[in-house]
Each structure stands twice: as structure tokens, then as C-alpha cells.
Amino acid sequence: MPPFLQFVIRRFMALPVSLLIITMILYGGVMLTPPEARASLYMPETKRNLTPEQIERLQENIIERYHLRDPYLVQYTLWAKTLFEGTWGYSPTLNEYVLPALLRRTPATLELALYSLLLLIPLGLVSGVKAGWRRRGLFDKGFRLLAFLSTSTPPFILAIVLLSIFYINLNWFAPGRVSLAYRLETLEESFIHYTGMLTIDGFLNGRIDIMGDVFRHLAMPVFTLSIYHWATLGRVARVSIIGEEKKEYVIAAKARGIRERRIVWRHIFRNALTPSLTSMTLSAASILTGVFVAEIIYDINGISTIIVNAMSGVPDAPAALGFAIYSVIMILLLMFMLDVLQAILDPRVREGVLKT
Amino acid sequence: MNRTRLFFGRWQNWLGLLLILVYVLVAIAAPYLSPDDPKGPGPFMQVGRPSEAKPSPPREGAPLGTLPRNVDVYHALVWGSRDALSFGLIVAVSTALFGILYGAFSGFVGGRVGSFMIRVADSFLAFPAIAGLVFLQQLYGTTVTALGGIYFEGQAIDFTGPASMIQYLLDHVDPLMLSLIALSWMPYARLVNSIVLTLKQTDFIQASRALGGNPFWIIRKHLLPNSTGPAMVLAARDVGGVVVFQATLTFINIGGGSVWGSMLAQGRNWILGPGGSLFTYWWAFLPPTLAVIVFGVAWNMFGDSLNDVLVPTTHETFRGQSFWNRKRMKDKTGSASEDQLPASMEAVLPLNPPAPVKKKSSVDGDDPVLHTAREDLSRGDLPRALHAYDYLIRHNRLIEQVLPDLAQLAKKYPRDPQVWQSLGDALTRAGQSGHATQSYDQARKLKQ
């Protein structure tokens, strides 16, 4: 088997282990509550039509059936089984089962995260490398100033400033996911949802106008998200470039008469990738948190609406738990993708020479 | 006092400290700067009718104007800094303590248990704090309602049921604090773990183990003091980070209870005045915005300055006694782990300034031995030059300068075993044992 495939499989096998550890800890949190509260994780849809006595009986039934007074491991195993069976509990604030609600909202979140990553990874790497190669040069100074400014502006403050300038005042961009008129058109039968991501679907349906409108709504959140993480990534790339020019392989390349541009982008660039992408992997959780915050501020109906609902209505443990597990899965997948990207770009990683 | 000189050598360093001192002073003097309203204590003091919908400009009794509903901006700003400081410090210190202990313990135990512990820490990396916060709050709410109480806006109302664990916990600790502590200790653990793992191989730890030192004594006496420097840098940056995060969550109404975040949420509709002017109602959003931003920047700057003082890789003052240099010389495992540590450091400390080599190079140019070596070379006297380089390598001096010279020599005289031998020595000194072995092999082949 080629080493790359081995790496991917080995890395993929690590995902369930992490998920197991996290769900065990999460259920440990659930164990802090009394059995009556735990029963709400299994409450069926019909709860609202019942009298208080009936609800009490139902609660007692659930406690019996799912052994909610038994030791932790018994409960955990039963609960973990229900995770695979599919609905993740009924959420009273959403009035539907948690898993379908999450899945339905995924494309919007994914779209936002995808465009942000597509923008920030190349930009961060290229500008960091450029700044690091000509250290103390004009580009480096500009880069450092900009990086300083963008890391010290909290994204939510940037977001409200952008909203008041570009939406309220100039009306160039808009919050939300898509304008109402286009939203109604996407609900029509003739509009086929291939991926759920409206930019791609709009393109595939031949509706460039819808695609453009969605991009108009995406511009501000994508910018808010990428500018912050761009600076962090660029800084790591910059630091990992500094010091490379004295390494032997660079001297050798120079001695062979290779042009500088080629040395930087063909030889040094690849060596700067590993620490940069590792830092991205480590901050994957904060990237996704940023996506959620951007969604809430820019009023995008992604998966974070679930927690907004849960916070404002009746207590909703199934939704909160489902949201936690779902975001963990998303982060694990993001980390996995970044690791694979790293392995594609850096042969040392996939051959296990570097331990990451 | 080198540390003091290093600390005050850059203006960013003392500026960071100065700004933090301002916040600390304001926080301590809050009761004098803006006395609490005896009728309604708390950071949000009303100075007029609560029915007023518009923010009003600075006036007598409200030096920085008011938010909508006549909430005094100055009062909230002053008392907010008290909240922010205590929140940030409590979270950062407890996070750091837990992470350091976890990392030191897992590193010290090592083996399968140690790597399992790090595995667990890595799994925590995939858990966003926002989900933890919502999860805890919803558990609390569910408990309250399941036991017959009413749960409204994060508070249990009219509830006298039997106490459960979660209630006990959340009545004493702010849920955001709890979830931040539970979900941000991993960088510390990873950092300390990797430092301890490498330190464990050093002679002085081996010696104290051989002498029968109690493991906890070794951790406390040798391992912790050597690994807290980088962790303190992280902690200083975390103070700013968690306060900004708290303000973010309060702003989007997920919880957190940040005063500044709440001020921004109350004033957010007044950022833009009529005609698109950003400054018509400047007092409604500028003070809390600046408070949050400057708070984050100050702690970041302070972290950078601690980095200058406490993390010895970034400068040359601690040469000879720092663990990094010791490790570089003793490291037998090859360049893989050599690369790994600084890289992971950079990953957690993205602001780490690059090693300032400028000062050193001006000294190097004057080094007499290096000078002779280069002069000998220019005269074409290879054996004498090599002799001088060997002297430098033997005394572990200026390896960074010697190494490229020798590398070029090796390209120039690829058939001279002596050159390869010296290159190997220099590479060993630089900790690149893999390349060193190759050079030695080359030298041996050429000698035969």
C-alpha cells in the first residue's frame, strides 16, 4: 500500500477513538444531573399533549427502560447505542428531532466555513512566506502591522462595524443567507438542491443571479472569519520561514544557481507548511467557534441557530448535547482534512518521519 | 540584571505592562472612581428615567454619556474592568495550573499511560467552548424543570427541589468559567508534556532518579520550574483571549455575563448615526469597544514581553544554561524531535517573535578564530582553516556560522575526508545527528 494511503487510513482510524473519549466525557457531564433530568434526553415527540401525571409516569418508564439509575457505564453504553440509531432525541425548542435538524442546517455552515478556509489558507501561507523571506522589508512591516491589527480586533466588533458600514449605510452587502425573493425561488420545485450549498446549487441550476446574491450575503462573514485566522496562520508561516535561508539545502540550491523565486516557492515553502498547518489543526475548534459566532451575528440559518433557540426557550438538553457532539464531529473532520492536506504537501508527514 | 534590561528593552513590553496596570488600578479603585448606586448596585447604573430610548451625550452625572434606558457608560466601564480582570485571571490561572500539572504528570509517567493522557488532551482540542457552555447551561435548566422548578434566562426561579451535582456546581461557578477551564488547558498540557519528555532524558533528572528521588519531588523540584516559563507566556495571552471571548458570547446573547459585551449589545443599534456618521453617538459603542480591544492587546503585549524574558530560545543571554541549548547538545534522537518542539511551540504561541540574531552577528564578525579561518581559506590554506574550524567546533562556538562555511567547503572539496569529518562534528553540535552520520560515512569512505 502506498504510504499516503496508509497515512490516511491510520489517521482516519483515530477519529472514532477521539469521539469515544469525548462522548464519554459529555455523558459524564449528563451524570451530574438527577435521573429525572436525564430522562429528557429520551422524551418522545408526544410529550406536549400529556398531563403532568402522565409525564411523570412517562419519565418513570424512561428511567426504567434506559436504566437511568444504574452505574455510569451501563447508561453510557445504552445512550451511545441510541446515537447510532439516528434521531438524537426530540428537541422541544425546535419541535423536531435533533439529528435531522442539524443535518438540514449543515450546508449553510459548511458553505461559510469552506469559503473562509479557501480564502485564508492560501492567503495566510503566501503572505507569511513572503514576509518571512524578506524579513524587516517593506512587505514584512506591512504584514506585521496588518496582522497585529486584525488579531487585536475581536471578530464580533469587526462584524458590527462592517454591518453598520456596508449594510446599513452603503447597502453593498447584507446579512442573512439569501435575499427573500431568491429564497422563495430556491424553494420552488424546479430548483434542484444538489449539495444544499446555495452558491454551488445556483451555479448548477444555471442561476448565476442566485449565486451572486448568496455571495453578496457571504462576503461580510467570510471576510470577518478569514481576516482573523489569516493573521494567525500568516504569523506561523512567517516564523517558520525565518531561519530557513541559512539551512544547507538553501545554500546548495543557491550554489546550483537556481533563481531565488524558485528556491522560495519550490524548496522553502514546503518546509514552512508543516508548522503552519499544524497550528491550523490545533485551532480548528476556534475556527468553528468563529463560524458559529459569525452565523449568529450575520443571522445565517446554520447549525448555530439550534443553540440560539435552546438558549431562549425552555431548557433543551437534547439540542445542546446534539449540538456539542455534532460540532465535535465537524472539528474532527476538519482536523482530519487539514492533516491529509499536510500529508499531500509534505512527504515527511506521510512517511511518518515527523511526528505530529 | 539582564532580565529587567531585556524586559524594558522594547517599548511594546513596558507599554503592555503599563496598560495592564491602568486596568488593575481602575479595577481596584472602582468604588472611588464611580460609587455604586445604593438603590441598585451592579455595573449598570441608571442615571435618569429608564424609558429613555436614545443614548444621551456626556453630561453632569454621566461623564461618558449614557446607553439607551439611561444606563451610565462610565460606571459600567469602570466596574466592567473589575469583572474582566477577575474573570480573565481566574480562568487563566486555573487553566494553566491544571494544564501544567496534567502535562507534567503525563510526561513524567510516560509510556503507554502518558501517551493515553495526551490522547485524551488531544480529543479535548476538538471540543469548542461555546458548545460546552450551552451544554452546561441546558443541563442545569433541564434539571431545574425536571424537578418542578422554573428556568428563565439562566436563572432558576421558585425552585426548592433536592440539590443535584450540577446545581451545586453552577451555583458556585460561572458556567462559562467552568467550560473555559475545562476546555482550554490542553495547550499547556501539550507544551509541558513535550518539555518534560525531553527533560527526562537529561542527565540531571536521570541522576536524581538514580539517587532515589521521589517522583513528585522530581516533578516539583526539577520539571515544573523548567517548564513554567513558556506556560506563563501562554497564560498571559489567555487572560486577554478569554475576556474577549466572554464579551463575544455575551454580545451574541449566549451567556457569559461580560459587562463590556453587554454594553456593546445595548448600544449596537446606535453605532451608525443619521447620515452614516460613525461618530454621532460615539459614546454608545466606542468606550466598551476600546476597553475590550485594548485589554486584549495589552495582555498580548505582556505575553510577548514575558516571552522575551522567560523563553530562552529567543535571545542569547541565557546561552549555556538554558534547557534548549542543553537539549541541542545532548539530543541523540535526531532532528525529528528537534524540529518538533519549536514547531509545536510556534503552533501554540503564534506571536512568538523571531530569534534576534542581529546583535550576535556583529560580534561574530570580530571573532578572531573565525576570522583567521576565513582568511586561511581565502589564501587557499585548507588544513589551517580546518584546524581553526575544529577549534571552534570543539568549544561549541558560533556553530551557526561554522556550519554553512563547512557546507560550502564540502561542496568545494568533495573528495577531502577531513572536511567531511569536521562537517560531521559541526552537525553533531547543531543536533542534526542524522546528517552528521552521513558526513561521517562520507569521510570514512574517502579515507579508505
Test A40 with B278 for CB contact under 8 angstroms.
no
By Cβ distance, the residue of B165, B268, B336 closest to A353 is: B336
CA distance linking residue B48 with residue A250, whole number of Å: 70
Instruction: Report which DSSP code applies to B314.
Output: G
Segments of chain B with pLDDT less than 70: 1-3, 6, 152-163, 274-276, 311-366
8 Å CB contact between B167 and B136: no
Test B254 with A321 for CB contact under 8 angstroms.
no
> Is the Cβ of A224 closer than 8 Å to some Cβ of chain B?
no
- pLDDT tens for each residue of chain A, 356 residues long: 777 888 888 888 888 988 999 999 999 888 888 888 888 888 777 666 777 788 788 888 888 888 888 888 888 888 888 888 878 888 888 888 889 889 989 999 999 999 999 999 999 999 998 888 888 889 989 998 999 888 888 898 899 888 888 888 888 888 888 888 888 888 888 888 888 888 888 888 888 888 888 899 999 999 999 999 999 899 888 888 887 777 888 888 888 888 888 888 888 888 778 888 888 888 888 899 999 999 999 988 889 888 888 887 778 888 889 999 999 999 999 999 988 888 888 777 777 655 44
Determine how many CB atoms are found less than 10 A away from the CB of residue A344: 14
> Is the Cβ of A149 closer than 8 Å to some Cβ of chain B?
no
CA distances (Å), A28 to each of A25, A309, B186, in order? Answer: 5, 24, 19
* A241, A280, A282, A348: best to mutate for the B interface, most B CBs within 10 A: A282
Angstroms from A221 CA to nearest CA on chain B: 15
| Domain layout of chain B by residue ranges | 7-316, 350-447
Chain B nearest-CA residue for A321: B135
CA distance linking residue B97 with residue B181, whole number of Å: 10
- Write out pLDDT tens, residues A196-248: 888 888 888 888 888 888 899 999 999 999 999 999 899 888 888 887 777 88
Angstroms from B21 CA to nearest CA on chain A: 19
| Alpha helices (H) along chain A | 3-30, 35-38, 52-65, 72-85, 98-133, 138-152, 155-162, 180-187, 198-204, 208-241, 248-255, 260-262, 269-282, 284-297, 305-312, 317-345, 347-350
SS (H, E, C) B216-231: HHHHHHHHHHHHHHHH
Q: Could you give the 3-state DSSP secondary structure of residue B360?
A: helix
Angstroms from A84 CA to nearest CA on chain B: 20
Q: What is the ipTM of this complex?
A: 0.88
Test B145 with A314 for CB contact under 8 angstroms.
yes
* A56, A150, A230, A248: best to mutate for the B interface, most B CBs within 10 A: A248
Chain A nearest-CA residue for B268: A160
- Write out pLDDT tens, residues B32-50: 888 777 777 777 877 777 7
CATH top-level class of B350-447: mainly alpha
Grid coordinates representing A253 are 540550491
Angstroms from B193 CA to nearest CA on chain A: 14
Test B247 with A154 for CB contact under 8 angstroms.
yes
Angstroms from B244 CA to nearest CA on chain A: 7
pLDDT for A225:
92
